[in-house]
Amino acid sequence: MKKIAANLGMIARQGVLILADILLINLSFFLTILLAQKDNLQAFVPMLIGRAIPVTALFILIYTAFGLYSSIWKYAGMQDLMRCCAAGVVGGLLGVSVDKIGEHFSLFHMGNFDASFYVSSTLMIIALCGGFRMLYRASRYFYHTSIAVRRGRRQQKRIMLVGAGDMGMIIVRELEANEYRLGRPVVIVDDNPAKQGKRFFGIPVRGGTDRIPEIAQRYEVDEIIFCIPSVSVQRQTEIMNIAMQTGCVLKKCPTLVEMNDGSNVQKIQNVEITDLLPRPEVDLNIEQCKYLTGKTVLVTGVGSIGSEICRQVAKHKPLRMVLVDNYENNAFSLYHELKRIYKDQFPIHIRIGSVQDIGRLREIFEEFHPDIVFHAAAHKHVPLMENSPCEAVKNNIFGTFNTAKVAVENKVKKFVILSTDKAVNPANVMGATKRVTEMIVQYFDRHSPQTQFAAVRFGNVLGSNGSVIPIFKKQIECGGPVTVTDPEITRYFMTIPEAAQLVIQAGSLSKGGEVFVLDMGEPVRILDLAENIIKLSGYVPYKDIDIVFTGLRPGEKLYEELTLDEEMAGRKKTANNKIFVTPPLDFSDQKLEQSLKALRHAKPDNVRELLQKVVPNYHENPDAPSVE
């Protein structure tokens, strides 16, 4: 019934508009005669009456063909007005044709109008019919504006737009279409001097981005929306950092790719801490990932990074994917996400099992015979591994050893592991075990020419399980305080998609035994990160949300490194100038085998000593507290 009522309402509105056009078209003809032939109305009015029906019908048909009765006129804009003008011109030309045909066949016995009549009447029709539509739109605008005034504009969010371009236009139009329920744009800033001091859809453009704090205060802005998707990521970050000084809620528009359907206002997102990284996100070469197409890809450990590796792999149409994890919930959730997106484009299999169980690994590898393996399964939490060092050895070292050994047995073509900057001059058990995994990869690469092994080393991953971002956000939700270990502690950061793409691209670039390292720019102070997250949450650091320093945790360093000193001499850029490769380091295979044999029987009281024998540069941080 609702659908029938809506259709009847639409037909009624179209009928009213057609009736209005009929009246306005004939009024245009009459006014043209009145203005041009006011002294001879008695002769021309009968001529007009004789042509009224065919010419009016002709105009209505042309208006229908141009879609003037299918437009939503409360959103009418320049395109609709241009269509109205074009329809009027075509109608005028055809009106002349009707007159000439009538003259030729003597249909109109009282004479004919000359071409000037139709030129003047066409202009009059365009003015009246187009003006009627614009008047309708304007009346609705002022009606809803008056409602907004009655409700009290201060109840609406006052919005500043950054960017008076095409995206800014889209957002202004959609905010208006939503009757400003999501907020009202009150001022725009733009770095183009030609736009400053002018009005953009009636909204003042008051200066450049360097004046955002001053302008936001003057116009009592509550929210800032960045409408600059074409500006470089680095420049966007600079502008966002300026806007952070205002204390306003910061939001960003969707990219052009994300604007493919639906309301763009609904796709406006909060600015995240990843948008404030002090370097542009690395643009990795998608072409070099085509080696995944048509291959069986197996991923161990589908946590935050492992899951993103699976998502990235899925984009390149593998033959099938195998997800291996000892925690079923992660695998189950990811399986249904991928099935929803890719449906039956390729099979996706889940196998539950631990990398510590070599028998279970053999069952899985013999079932699927993978071509490519991404080994992401590991214990990564530094303080927890300080308290359970033997578990770090079992899972990180021997889980990697088992997976690599089974991969060699099944003639896997490529095997890539995830490492960490904490493996460089490690100060904790987790970092030391990850350095051993790099050595295991290089060991197997020397002894198995059929499989190409590689490791990928990167810093902290923003938003991953156990990272500081979710911890800070949870602390802010609880009203604080936000805890930072030391005011001078720094870390390298990257996003989860960057980490996953780097791992995938390493598989393409690998020739065997390398450690790939991302150029991660300058390290970030954790204190700056905490302050920015508090600001992005709409609070003032130290005023609304306090920051407390708790001291370094067990195994924690003030700063991390990406490359060993002995690796620097052979470090080279790859085909992607943001990714470096370090060649395999020389070490004794026999000593590694002996060390691994000893580590299999490690106890909590000697595990660190055994790790130091295989990783001589492993030294516990003297500034960090001891393990309880």
Secondary structure, 3-state, 460-507: EEECCCCCHHHHHHHHHHCCCCEEECCCCCEECEEEHHHHHHHHHHHH
Looking only at Cα atoms, what is the longest distance across the chain? Answer: 118
Both 109 and 200 in a single domain? no
* pLDDT of the residue at 266: 59
Region class of 317: left (phi > 0), else alpha (psi between -120 and 50), else beta: left
List, in order, residues 6 or more apart from 143 with CB less than 8 Å away. Answer: none
Q: Which residue has the tokens 């003030």?
A: 558
Residue 172 pLDDT > 90, yes or no?
no
| Ranges assigned E (strand) in 202-312 | 203-204, 223-226, 249-252, 269-270, 296-300
- The string of pLDDT tens digits covering residues 189-222 is 999 888 888 888 888 998 899 999 999 999 889 8
Q: Are 145 and 254 in the same domain?
A: no
Same domain? 571 vs 608: yes
Q: What are the backbone dihedrals phi and psi of residue 120, each rounded to the nearest 5 degrees, phi first?
A: -65, -45
Q: Give residue 60's domain range.
A: 2-150
CB within 8 Å of 557: residues ≥ 6 apart: 427, 428, 621, 624
Task: Kindly tell me the burial class for residue 171, based on how many C-beta atoms sit within 10 Å of its own C-beta (0-12, 13-18, 19 or more).
Answer: buried
The last residue of a domain, from among 150, 168, 187? 150
Q: What percent of the chain has pLDDT over 70?
A: 78
Check whether residue 498 and residue 349 sit in a common domain.
yes
Question: For the chain, what is the mean pLDDT?
Answer: 80
Cα radius of gyration rounded to whole Å, the chain: 35
Q: Are the C-beta atoms of 184 and 147 separated by less than 8 Å?
A: no
pLDDT at 534 over 60: yes
Question: Do 237 and 252 lie in a common domain?
Answer: yes
- 339 and 440 share a domain? yes
Beta carbons within 8 Å of 252's beta carbon, 6+ residues apart: 225, 226, 268, 269, 270, 271, 275
Instruction: Answer yes or no: are the C-beta atoms of 277 and 460 closer than 8 Å.
Output: no
Statement to judge: residues 59 and 130 lie in one domain:
yes
321 pLDDT higher than 80? yes
Assigned domain for 359 exists: yes
Q: Which of 380, 394, 414, 422 is catalytic?
A: 422
Task: Give domain status of residue 622, yes or no.
Answer: no
User: Do 191 and 250 meet the contact criterion of CB atoms below 8 Å apart?
Assistant: no
pLDDT, tens only, 435-444: 999 999 999 9
Judge if 89 and 227 occupy the same domain: no
Examine the residue annotation and report whether 422 is marked as an active-site residue of this protein.
Answer: yes
| Of 363, 300, 311, residue with least CA distance to 341 | 311
Mean pLDDT of 260-288: 65
Burial zone of 337 (CB within 10 Å; 0-12 exposed, 13-18 middle, 19+ buried): middle
> Does the residue 623 lie in any domain?
no
Task: Identify any residues that bridge with 350 across adjacent strands, giving them in sequence order.
Answer: 323
Residue 6: per-residue pLDDT? 55
Last residue of a domain, one of 125, 150, 175: 150
Q: Is residue 551 part of a domain?
A: no
Determine the average pLDDT of the residues in 458-486: 82
| Angstrom distances, CA of residue 369 to CA of 372, 391, 513 | 9, 29, 22
d(CA 153, CA 139): 19
Note whether residue 530 is domain-resident.
Answer: no
- Among 94, 126, 150, the domain boundary falls at 150
Q: What would the pLDDT profile of 40-71 be if each residue is shown by its tens digit? A: 555 555 555 656 677 777 778 887 887 777 66
Residues 77 and 109 in one domain: yes
Is the pTM of the predicted complex or chain greater than 0.85?
no
Encode pLDDT of 485-503 as tens digits. Answer: 888 888 877 778 878 888 8
| 316 and 377 both lie in a single domain | yes
| Total domain count, the chain | 3
- What CATH number is attached to the domain comprising 599? 3.40.50.720
pLDDT of amino acid 367? 95
Give the least confident one: 537-541, 574-578, 610-614. 574-578
